[in-house]
Amino acid sequence: MIFLIWLLYIPALYLVYGLRLALAGMGIYLHTFPTMLLHGAVFVGVYYLIKYLKKLLKVKPRIPANAGKRDKTISVYGLVTVGFTAMTALQGYGMLSRSMQGYLVPICAYVVLALSLNLVVGISGELSLGHAGFMGVGAFAGIVAATCAQNAVSDPFLRLVIGMVAGGLMAGVAGLIVGIPVLRLRGDYLAIVTLAFGEILRSLTENLYVGLDRAGLHMSMSNGGVQLQEGGKMIISGALGATGIKPISTFVAGILLVFFTVAVVLNLVHSREGRAIKAVRDNRIAAESVGINATTFKLKAFVISAVLAGMAGALFGLNLGSVQASKFSYTTSIDILVYVVLGGMGNMLGSIISTVVLYLIPEFLRSLADYRMIMYAIVLIVVMLCTWSPKIKNTISLFTYTMRTYWNRLFRKKGGSGK
Amino acid sequence: MMKKILAMLLAVLMTVGVLAGCGGADVSGKKENDGASVIKVGTSGPLTGDNAVYGVAVKNGLELAFEEINALGDLQFEVKAEDDEADSEKAVNAYNTLMDWGMQIMAGPTTSGSAAATAQKCAADKVFMLTPSASDPAVIAAGDNVFQICFTDLNQGKASAQYIKDHNLATKIGIIYDSSSPYSAGIYNTFKAEAAALGLEIAIEAPFTEGTKGDLTTQVTMCQQANCDLVFLPIYTSEAVKVLSVANSNGYAPKYFGCDGLDGILSVENFDTSLAEGVMLLTPFDATATDEKTQSFVTKYTEKYGTAPNQFAADAYDVAYAIYEACKAGGVTADMSAEEVNAIMVEQITKMSFDGLTGQAMQWGADGAVSKDPMAVVIENGIYVGMD
């Protein structure tokens, strides 16, 4: 039996390799005897692996229903720490390619965006399609603040922090203004209105002109409305966006922001407010009947999410030499939403992992040239189907549960979890 | 037990096999590239998505030109195009990927926003950059080693106003432009400033945005009511076609003047080209020109890619030859680092005079902008006819 499949496997390999090589334009790949043997071994290995997995899948994972939230919190912090340490170590040894180093800061920004959106979508239970709008507000506010502070503050890290704080505040204000009318709506209506507000925020920044000269900051909503003295400089020029920014974002700053976000989000979720927010999500009427003000709690989650998105936007904007408002359109909102949905609603660990993976997939698929975005879509569909399959879900939770138990045995000696 | 050992053994073999597979691919890839005999030129542009038509044209133009150059036999080039989706974030990723590949010269990006971000990276890393089509002045402002082969938006607006003034084309001008497009808004700004300086009267400004470009009736009517005898259109063809159709059905027939965005208006699908009769535009490239260079380029391009080249392809073709001539004059060799190449290229490009498809005797200033004469054409009987 095995031998038969092995025979079929070789022509199949030719097909696969032939296709791959045609894509890369490298000519014909010739199999020699040793490589044939190796591929045979690969096949048999895969065969047994599948058999083993099948056996594994038959086992029903037995996970206690209340597998402790403390463990989950630890794994979120742990993952970020491990990621940071690994990347820094690799960078230190010069083993990280330029492109990988380039991905670090945007990934941090997107992780923060996904976590903050998860607060609204997963915890608060409202579908928001305008998250990129807050990111944009934060980005431009951060750029303006960092540029204004250029003369007063020489330390780039401090300037980045000023930018992030300013970005967070502005996005928070925008979140409050948007949130008050929006959160009176429910369900589909709310989703559509957030989409509209996201687009409003984008087109406002698209028509915003900001310049800086010795007299101070000038702002206008019309082209030519900003008249600068000699030596003055335009910071944002409408649809042309902000150009000539000195990139000051660093990976360390990005990771610190991720830690800050994780701390804010997890503490909120586990607090009294968090439980109230979740209660409103699960049953609004029941929650209101015990005296919870549904709109207020939803608004809290929404504004906090906007502040975090604004900070991420500032980190993102100050990482690039040029930023245009068109970046913050609904397509970016949808991208972030995909990270959240794929990672699991309300699952912070999942959000982080899915963001990193989904950000890197299109970059790693660059060698496929024209087929890149098609492949990305296919991968998305496959991942969606897989993570929805109960069998695979069980396997993943069994795996994480086992790992957690080992971790507990190693470091806490008491074994088990949540007891 | 036996089975378990076998499985383990095979798993180990499998890992080795996978690694060997990867290794094999790398080696075969390296054999072709790593002879240190080719100069690596990178570019990035929107190869997928809404603006793919521009990015692909640039990629094709570069590939065609470097194929010809390699066939000459002295300097050998390899060109690689990465997708940046016309997004500054992705452009930086594309740039980093190209640097990992070993890029020595950057011949891109295609669009302005991406180019402004990449230009900063090039300036910081000292990689020579010559963009075919990113016309925003902010691009070349990023560093001393960043150059453009296209007109800046600044120059296009200025040259248009100058041209209208010199040829006495208008007494009252109406402008229809896209305020949400960097290209359109950029030209509008400088046109307005130059028109004021030259004493041209702008009777009405009718902006539209990405969201409102579906129906341009209001904008046309505004121009009509203001009695404009010339409408300036610093926009792309898809919107210009709408303006022309609406004006025609309203019985309004002013003169039209556009910039290089109007190039390609005659090949818009389902458009009655007779409406474009008499439209004037500034364009660096005319695919119907009869000179030998243009004809040979158009024939080869059409043969290879199945469509006629647009101005982006021509700009990219010129970029390739400009790079080739500068490399040859400065003695650039494939084993030099990007920084060494950069120093030579900056020196060579500022002192050369280059004849290409998109202009004669092009020269570059230290600021990175090109100086070449703008070429104005008017559409007569469905073809471009040169104006002087």
Supply the Cα-derived Rg of chain A in whole angstroms.
Answer: 25
How confident is the model at residue B257, as a pLDDT?
93
Is B17 an 8 Å CB contact of chain A?
A: yes
Phi, psi of A216 (to 5 degrees): 125, -160
In this complex, do A323 and B18 lie within 8 Å of one another by their Cβ atoms? no
**Shortest distance, CA A237 to any CA of chain B (angstroms):** 9
How confident is the model at residue B272, as a pLDDT?
85
Residue ranges of the alpha helices (H) in A25-96? 33-58, 69-92
User: DSSP code of A121?
Assistant: I
Evaluate whether A325 touches A136 at the Cβ level (below 8 Å).
yes
Is B181 an 8 Å CB contact of chain A?
A: yes
> A residues 303-332 near B, CB within 8 Å?
316, 320-324, 326-327
Name the closest residue on chain A to residue B13, using Cα atoms.
A41
How many whole angstroms separate alpha carbon A203 and alpha carbon A133? Answer: 9
Summarised one tens digit per residue, pLDDT across range B180-233 is 777 888 889 889 989 999 989 999 999 888 777 888 999 999 999 999 999 999
Is B22 an 8 Å CB contact of chain A?
A: no
Q: Which CATH number fits domain B154-283: 3.40.50.300, 2.60.120.10, 3.40.50.2300, 3.20.20.410?
A: 3.40.50.2300
Query: Which residues on chain B are in Cβ contact (under 8 Å) with A244?
Result: 116, 120, 138, 141-142
How confident is the model at residue B239, as a pLDDT?
87
**Shortest distance, CA A32 to any CA of chain B (angstroms):** 12
- Beta carbon pairs, A and B, within 8 Å: 139
Query: Which residues on chain B are in Cβ contact (under 8 Å) with A206?
Result: 180, 209
Mean per-residue pLDDT, A252-274? 94
Is B33 an 8 Å CB contact of chain A?
A: no
User: What CATH fold (topology level) applies to the domain B38-151+291-371?
Assistant: Rossmann fold (3.40.50)
Query: Which residues on chain A are in Cβ contact (under 8 Å) with B34?
Result: none
Percent of residues, chain B, with pLDDT higher than 70: 90
Choose the mutation target among A104, A222, A320, A365 for the interface with B, i.e. most B CBs under 10 Å: A320
How confident is the model at residue B108, as a pLDDT?
84
Res. B67 pLDDT band, cuts 50 70 90: very high
A321 closest CB neighbour out of B47, B83, B119: B119
Going from N- to C-terminal start, the domains of chain B cover: 38-151+291-371, 154-283
Summarised one tens digit per residue, pLDDT across range B26-58 is 333 333 444 568 999 999 999 887 778 889 999
How many whole angstroms separate alpha carbon B276 and alpha carbon B274? Answer: 5
Instruction: Tell me if B38-151+291-371 shares its fold with B154-283.
Output: yes
Res. A22 pLDDT band, cuts 50 70 90: very low
Percent of residues, chain A, with pLDDT higher than 70: 83
What is the average pLDDT value for chain B, to the nearest integer? 85
- More confident of the two residues A124 and A63: A124
In this complex, do A322 and B48 lie within 8 Å of one another by their Cβ atoms? no
Query: Which residues on chain A are in Cβ contact (under 8 Å) with B89?
Result: 106, 316, 320, 327
Mean per-residue pLDDT, A277-305? 93
Query: Which residues on chain A are in Cβ contact (under 8 Å) with B185?
Result: 223, 238-240
In this complex, do A98 and B16 lie within 8 Å of one another by their Cβ atoms? no
Using the predicted structure, report yes or no on whether residue A67 has a pLDDT greater than 60: no
Torsion of CA A196, A201, A204, A205, to 10 degrees: -140
What is the average pLDDT value for chain A, to the nearest integer? 83
Apex A186 CA angle, A185 and A191, nearest 5: 90
Query: Which residues on chain A are in Cβ contact (under 8 Å) with B181?
Result: 239
How many whole angstroms separate alpha carbon B128 and alpha carbon B119? Answer: 9
Using the predicted structure, report yes or no on whether residue A25 has a pLDDT greater than 60: no
How many whole angstroms separate alpha carbon A174 and alpha carbon B287? Answer: 50
How many whole angstroms separate alpha carbon B253 and alpha carbon B231? Answer: 10
Is B53 an 8 Å CB contact of chain A?
A: no
Query: Which residues on chain B are in Cβ contact (under 8 Å) with A44?
Result: 10, 14
- More confident of the two residues A340 and A55: A340
Mean per-residue pLDDT, B299-309? 90
A243 closest CB neighbour out of B116, B180, B189: B116
In this complex, do B121 and A99 lie within 8 Å of one another by their Cβ atoms? no
A238 closest CB neighbour out of B49, B114, B185: B185
Is A101 an 8 Å CB contact of chain B?
A: yes
In this complex, do B185 and A102 lie within 8 Å of one another by their Cβ atoms? no
Residue B148's identity, in one-letter code, is: Q
Q: Is A272 exposed, middle or buried (0-12, 13-18, 19+ CB in 10 A)?
A: exposed
Evaluate whether B344 touches B330 at the Cβ level (below 8 Å).
yes
DSSP H/E element including A245: none
How many of the other CB atoms lie within 10 Å of CB of B5?
Answer: 9
Phi, psi of A9 (to 5 degrees): -65, -35
Is B185 an 8 Å CB contact of chain A?
A: yes
Residue A192's SS3 state is helix
Is B93 an 8 Å CB contact of chain A?
A: yes
| b/e map A380-398, b = 16+ CB within 10 Å | eeeeeeebeeeeeebbeeb
Choose the mutation target among B33, B48, B60, B112 for the interface with A, i.e. most A CBs under 10 Å: B48
- More confident of the two residues B133 and A388: B133
Res. B106 pLDDT band, cuts 50 70 90: very high
How confident is the model at residue A229, as a pLDDT?
80
Is A98 an 8 Å CB contact of chain B?
A: yes
- Residue in A218, A205, A238, A219 with CA at minimum distance from that of residue A139: A205
Using the predicted structure, report yes or no on whether residue A292 has a pLDDT greater than 70: yes
DSSP string, B297-335: HHHHHHHHHSS---HHHHHHHHHHHHHHHHHHHHT--TT
Res. A5 pLDDT band, cuts 50 70 90: low
Residue carrying structure tokens 């290794």: B23
Summarised one tens digit per residue, pLDDT across range A155-185 is 999 999 999 999 999 999 999 999 999 988 8
Mean per-residue pLDDT, B242-268? 87
Res. A304 pLDDT band, cuts 50 70 90: very high
- More confident of the two residues A50 and B262: B262
DSSP H/E element including B151: none
ipTM of the complex: 0.78
- Residue in A151, A164, A310, A150 with CA at minimum distance from that of residue A246: A150
Is B13 an 8 Å CB contact of chain A?
A: yes
> B residues 323-352 near A, CB within 8 Å?
none
Is A121 an 8 Å CB contact of chain B?
A: no
pTM of the prediction?
A: 0.80
In this complex, do A102 and B93 lie within 8 Å of one another by their Cβ atoms? yes
Phi, psi of A39 (to 5 degrees): -65, -35
Mean per-residue pLDDT, A112-127? 94
Is A103 an 8 Å CB contact of chain B?
A: yes
Is B196 an 8 Å CB contact of chain A?
A: no
How confident is the model at residue B10, as a pLDDT?
56
Using the predicted structure, report yes or no on whether residue A101 has a pLDDT greater than 50: yes
Query: Which residues on chain A are in Cβ contact (under 8 Å) with B16?
Result: 38
Going from N- to C-terminal start, the domains of chain A cover: 2-54, 70-369
Res. A371 pLDDT band, cuts 50 70 90: confident
In this complex, do B116 and A244 lie within 8 Å of one another by their Cβ atoms? yes
- Residue in A197, A137, A196 with CA at minimum distance from that of residue A164: A137
Contacts of A346 (CB under 8 A, 6+ apart): A118, A122, A123
How many whole angstroms separate alpha carbon A103 and alpha carbon A100? Answer: 5
DSSP string, B180-226: T-HHHHHHHHHHHHHHHHHT--EEEEEEE-GGGTT--HHHHHHHHHT
Is A106 an 8 Å CB contact of chain B?
A: yes
Summarised one tens digit per residue, pLDDT across range B320-361 is 999 999 999 999 999 999 999 999 999 999 999 999 988 888
Choose the mutation target among A240, A361, A366, A375 for the interface with B, i.e. most B CBs under 10 Å: A240
How confident is the model at residue A414, as a pLDDT?
52
**Shortest distance, CA A48 to any CA of chain B (angstroms):** 6
Is B19 an 8 Å CB contact of chain A?
A: no
For chain B, strand residue ranges (E) read 38-45, 76-83, 105-106, 128-131, 146-148, 173-178, 202-208, 230-233, 255-258, 280-282, 354-356, 359-364, 370-371, 376-380, 383-386
Is B318 an 8 Å CB contact of chain A?
A: no
Res. A75 pLDDT band, cuts 50 70 90: confident
> Distance between terminal CA atoms of chain A?
49
How confident is the model at residue B36, as a pLDDT?
63
Architecture of domain A70-369: Orthogonal Bundle (1.10)
How many whole angstroms separate alpha carbon A175 and alpha carbon A311? Answer: 13
In this complex, do A239 and B99 lie within 8 Å of one another by their Cβ atoms? no
